[in-house]
Chain A
Amino acid sequence: MTARAKLAKAASALPAPFAAWFAERRWTPRPHQVELLAKARAGRSVLLIAPTGAGKTLAGFLPSLVALHERPKANMPGGRGIHTLYISPLKALAVDIARNLEAPVAEMKLNIRLETRTGDTPLHKRQRQKLKPPDILLTTPEQAALLLSAPDAPRFFADLDTVILDELHALVTSKRGDLLALGLARLRSLAPNLRTIGLSATVAEPEALRAWLVGQGPAHFPPPERGRSIGAAAREGVMRVPGSDPSPPLRGDPPFSREGKARRVLPMADLIVVKGGAKPDISILDSTERMPWAGHTGRYALPDMYAAIKAHHLALLFVNVRSQAELIFQELWRINVDGLPIALHHGSLDAAQRRKVEAAMAAGKLRAVVCTSTLDLGIDWGDVDLVINIGAPKGASRLAQRIGRANHRLDEPSKAILVPANRFEVLECRAALDANYLGAQDTPPIRAGALDVLAQHVLGMACSAPFAADALYREVTSAFPYRDLDRPTFDRVVDFVATGGYALRTYERFAKIREGADGLWRITHPRVAGQYRLNVGTIIEAPLLNVRVGRSARAAFAGRGGRVLGKVEEYFVETLSVGDTFLFAGHILRFEGVHENEAIATRTSDRTPKIPVYAGGKFPLSTYLAAGVRGILADERGWSRLPAQVAHWLEIQRERSVLPNPDQLLVETFPRGNRFYLVAYPFEGRLAHQTLGMLLTRRLERAKLKPTGFVASDYALGVWGLGDLGAAFERGKPSLDNLFDQDMLGDDLDAWMADTYLLKRMFRNAALISGLVEKRHPGKQKTGRQVTISTDLVYDVLRRHEPDHILMRATWADAATGLLDIGRLGDMLARIKGRIVHQRLDHISPLAVPIMLDIGKEAVPGEAEEDVLREAADDLIREAMGGD
């Protein structure tokens, strides 16, 4: 039988109401929809990779709708458990999908109940869902974890047939993904014939996602080594703990080869790939305005953006961070002479405010929306016909996702304009554009499952029913991210959940879970389950304060009147003094002070606000784009495709210094003022550069070159000091090869990491997720500030007294992949070994200008706290002396 004939046969296999529904609309089921139906009927789990607009959602639900239609009526009172569980990363997406699905279900007159369950679902509805489960439940990973921790979970999920995981690529790379993977493992225990359907728009390693969707077999392990440094443990968090595999996959190394000779063969879901739709129509804005050297605002291109908005029906303007959204929105309105309806949408706006914008979008009442990644994921809110991406896209996949927002029909090209905010971003946009045409994807690899999440899950399982450690270990290691988890570590996590797992065993009598004589672990008090339920989830928000705007400061402080406009991060409020003006929710506000959990502000007619601090790119430059940018620099034949100003910039650089080959690292040194500078161009993202800067300054300090500061951007690292760096490198004291040697990731890293405040922040997250400290107590919610203080103190004590505690291990693993990006730095150091090109210059090079302009904008990190104290004390002395 030919493929076509097979397809026709499968399509004709659709039950009558479905066939009629398609026919009425003169639609034929798409090949991937039919294929998925056939695979699902054969009991196979499937990963469906399809571009936006390919009818992915319908494809995912079609097997369930058909199965539910064909299922005989239940004759049990109260009906059956749920048949299909749909999980999405966003509440809004679950609600949106439910809405989209209700229409065909009604039109086909199917007797299928589908309901959503999110944090917003009222209690009475939740209780009814428990008593009379719907056929299809649409929810989030956190709600799924809650349902699984309930004692009635076995009954609720006994009839579960299908789990549909939407936007799987977005879920799996985070701790939420770890929580979900563990939940999925439990669901497989409760419903052994369960199949999964993963929906993904864009993905780098389909093999990893395919394996993620199905249960993994047991693994075998060498005994854990004793007495290693905690830094070594942290690095393993990146490199994946070696399993039975003789050559453990490292980052940048394809972990799953199809040939699979020396590698472990992993069970995988089937794969259906829908090839790509119409080629998107993307251009880089070639503004006649002067392109800035540095900065991230994209302000120079406002007239061009406004013209583009005018020429289209509905434009989405994507920016990378909230403050930039505020700025662009404000500036657009300033030049909005036509009074176009332009709105603002970002994560810290009040939910009601956001809903209003979404509704207006759907109703076609808007011409443009300035937004952050809150609109990245697949929510359909109207007929967008243009996407403007301001600033660098940071990742080819992210760009593809955003561009997919424009024109939700597969056969028509989506239209997008990239607006680089500075000269380096031009290169990045160019690289992203090439990647998009090439169809390359660069989502991050799935890392080993986090231990703090595992601790939360273990407690949840104990809340549901007593468990045997052996069985739970088998179940946990069937989850893809935990497939290499060794038994001693698992046992330590269980011990942690029970009593904190400290070497000093003084908390046995306060244990939360305890192993009984029957070998089963059970919770010691119902209160424990209550506390678990209040603390479930992995999203630890930065402490946020409400922004309340009152007519007068006095009224607002008294708690009278005023409107809550949304939330801002606590750290931002800390930088404000009373009387400062800032942009928020499109208004210029005057900061009046903090009252309890709120930042109090009043409106002001001030036209030049103090702009919220730009924290640099929130997303680091992806590895894939970094390679693209290095390629563009080295290949001058491609420069003709760059804006003339940028090509000219690169030409001058070639004349005055050099442009490195893609596999080289260029290091320039030059004097300026009374300091000596080193600028390196690794293009590995701000996080990795910041870590490199910390480590390099330590080494330069030891070489007596007196470094006094550094600044890191996504593209380059600048270090300055009082010693003549260029001369020192030429004498080989130290040589650049030694300076950039990989061994900096050893003791230097250990010593520095132990002191950095970043670790405290990571520890706080791990402490909250693992349940060491509580997010909320029944009845009273701690403010973020209280939590911050106590976990910092706990960190100090734990570090002094038990530095190899399981939670410290979890913290270091997070730091290695997260804020410090050590994994990426390690790859880079290995790549450039023996390939460092040193240019000793008399003055600053063109390529160095952007990073030099960043100097002074960022605080000099380091251990300078004592200096701040001393200076404050000196001020006092000066004041006192002057008063005498």
Chain B
Amino acid sequence: MYCGKPLTISFGRRWAVTDAARQIAPASVATLVGVAGVVLEAFAEGVLWWADRRLLVAADLHLEKGSSFARRGEMLPPYDTADTLGRLGRLIRRLDPGIVIALGDSFHDDGGPARMAPSDRADLAFLQRGREWVWIAGNHDRLAPAGLAGAHLDTLTVGPLTFRHEPAAGPASGEIAGHLHPSARLAGRGKWVRRRCFAGDGFRLVMPAFGAYAGGLNVLDRAFSGLFAAPTFRCFLLGDERVYPVSPRTLRPD
């Protein structure tokens, strides 16, 4: 666990990565990530925490992906929704957010909410109790989830930050998005490591997918081209207990 002196690295005027490790709970420590001047905390579980606003963001939950595949004859284990909600629930209990933003593709398809097991539905309702909950529309789930609590929005703006599912084309300032499922690979000690990651340049941050069955797309893929300003582009790889900022120079394509 990192417990050294906080270290601040400057990358120009608007960008700041503080590698200070602030311990929240024994489970993981936060790495500070700046977006449009706002300092957010990135957790190894793959969520963002805006402490000042008590705001928690998780992207691409892809709930009911297992049952979506089962419809087509691929009987993936039906535990993905429980698994995803379980991990999200642990974070919610730890951080006690006032608002939770599910950043789109929360369900793998629009039929997902109807297929939810009653126990999962009850767990979700329990997590939503006593706080605001926002479902951002995704490309997998364009409709508001039927029969579930929470607001359904295309985008949400909080202070200088805009939350939307798909990153807008071209440069953006203060955008938090998902959709692309960024992951990164790097080499060391004769082996390869591939992890989900946050990808950002100080103006925009693309979040890793949180869902148990959500795969990853290499950040060097052309789908990411044009999104980030090269000089300040950084990836934040999800470790077991913390998030590691890594220079794109060390990354490899798939």
Contact = CB atoms under 8 A, between A and B. Distances in A.
A binds B: yes
Interface of A: 496, 499-502, 504, 506-507, 510, 512, 527-528, 531, 574, 577, 593-594, 772-774, 785-786, 789-790, 793-794, 796-798, 800-802, 805, 858-860, 864-873, 875-877, 879-881, 884
B137 to A, nearest CB: 24
16 contacts: A502-B78, A510-B75, A577-B252, A793-B214, A797-B77, A797-B212, A800-B79, A802-B77, A859-B191, A860-B190, A869-B239, A870-B244, A872-B244, A873-B244, A876-B245, A876-B247
Contact of B215 (A506, A574, A790): A790
Interface stretch (B34-42, B65-73, B99-107, B167-175): B65-73
A866 B79 CA distance: 27
Given A798-B77, A801-B83, A872 B186 contact: yes
Contacts of A790: 213, 215
B129 interface: no
Contacts of B188: 867-868, 871-872
Contact of B79 (A504, A512, A772): A504
Interface in B194-212: 195, 212
Contact of A873 (B71, B75, B246): B246
A787 to B, nearest CB: 10
Interface in B216-253: 216, 234, 237, 239-241, 244-247, 250, 252-253
A504 B78 contact: yes
Contacts of A593: 253
A884 B9 CA distance: 9
A673 B184 CA distance: 37
A496 B75 CA distance: 9
Nearest to B80: A797
Interface in B1-52: 7, 9-11, 19
Contact of B67 (A506, A512, A867, A871): A506
B192 interface: yes
Given A500-B70, A510-B71, A794 B215 contact: no
A873 B213 contact: no
A772 B73 CA distance: 8
A876 B237 CA distance: 13
Given A500-B75, A866-B240, 19 more contacts: A496-B75, A502-B75, A506-B117, A507-B78, A512-B73, A512-B75, A773-B74, A774-B74, A790-B215, A793-B215, A798-B79, A865-B193, A866-B239, A866-B241, A869-B244, A872-B188, A872-B237, A872-B244, A879-B247
B93 interface: no
B212 A793 contact: yes
B225 to A, nearest CB: 15
Nearest to A798: B77
A594 B76 contact: no
Nearest to A789: B215
B246 A876 contact: yes
A801 B246 contact: no
A445 to B, nearest CB: 33
Contact of B193 (A499, A501, A869): A869
B254 interface: yes
Contacts of A527: 73
A868 B70 CA distance: 37
A108 to B, nearest CB: 50
A868 B189 contact: yes
B79 A797 contact: yes
Given A499-B75, A772-B76, A866-B240, A797 B213 contact: yes
A868 B83 contact: no
A7 B169 CA distance: 86
Contact of B195 (A507, A869, A877, A881): A869
B82 interface: yes
A767 to B, nearest CB: 9
A790 B79 CA distance: 14
Contacts of B7: 877
The 5 closest A-B pairs by CB, nearest first: A500-B75, A859-B190, A868-B188, A801-B79, A873-B244
Nearest to B185: A574
A507 B83 contact: no
| Candidate in B67, B75, B234, B246 with the most chain A CB atoms within 10 angstroms | B75
A510 B73 contact: yes
Nearest to B188: A868
Contacts of B190: 858-860
A865 B241 CA distance: 12
B237 A869 contact: yes
Given A594-B254, A877-B19, A868 B186 contact: yes
A527 B71 CA distance: 12
A500 B73 contact: no
Contact of B213 (A531, A794, A880): A794
Contacts of B240: 866
A220 B54 CA distance: 63
Contacts of B78: 500, 502, 504, 506-507
A793 B76 CA distance: 10
A862 B31 CA distance: 26
A510 B74 CA distance: 9
Nearest to B237: A869
A607 B125 CA distance: 66
A879 B246 CA distance: 11
Nearest to A576: B252
Contacts of B246: 869, 872-873, 876
Contacts of B74: 772-774
A593 B222 CA distance: 14
Nearest to B241: A866
B247 A531 contact: no
Which residue among A501, A528, A867, A868 has the maximum number of chain B CB atoms within 10 Å of its CB?
Answer: A868
A866 to B, nearest CB: 6
Contact of B247 (A798, A869, A875): A875
Contacts of A867: 188-189
A774 B73 CA distance: 9
B9 A880 contact: yes
Given A786-B215, A860-B190, A868-B189, A801 B250 contact: no
Contacts of B67: 506-507, 510
Interface string B76-95: 11111011000000000000
B82 A801 contact: yes
B232 to A, nearest CB: 12
Contacts of A866: 239-241
A743 B139 CA distance: 53
Nearest to A525: B73
B191 A868 contact: yes
Contacts of A507: 67, 70, 75, 78
Nearest to A867: B189
Contacts of B11: 880
A802 B213 CA distance: 16
A54 B7 CA distance: 78
Nearest to A510: B70
B76 to A, nearest CB: 6
A528 B73 CA distance: 7
Contacts of B244: 869-870, 872-873
Contacts of B191: 859, 864-865, 868
A13 B11 CA distance: 94
